[in-house]
Amino acid sequence: MTDISLGPNDDGTTVTAHVGDRLVVNVPENATTGYQWEVESLDGGLDVETSGTVPPTELRPGQGGSHEVVVRAVKAGDAGLRLRLRRSWEPPERAAQRYHVNVEVT
């Protein structure tokens, strides 16, 4: 079992994972603006283990941190993870940004 680290530059890419591997997605987030990442959809053999805000390393007012989503590959086949950045009081279709990774699970 391996942890596969993914970040903003991996948006739109395809990664290969083995059953049991964890994908650790870390994307910038500044929750003080109201915009937060959420899992939009998950298909194939992936299960979300955790999803949450990671505070900034430097504590200053308004300083952004990141959002970490940890997903485990549980079944072989093609899978996908989609995230969206939005404010909770706005409809989902008004997401400010989206993030997508295709996963080939072997």
Record the pTM. 0.89
Tell me the per-residue pLDDT of 41-51, one tens digit each, with 9 for 90 and over. 998 899 999 99
CATH classification at residue 87: 2.60.40.2020
Tell me the DSSP string of 37-92. Answer: EEEEEEESSEEEEEEEEE--SS--TT--EEEEEEEEE-SSEEEEEEEEEEETTS-G
Tell me the per-residue pLDDT of 25-66, one tens digit each, with 9 for 90 and over. 999 998 788 999 999 999 889 999 999 988 877 777 777 889
Residue 90 pLDDT > 90, yes or no? yes
Domain that holds residue 43: 3-105
CB contact at 8 A, 82 and 95:
no
- Report the number of distinct structural domains present in the chain: 1
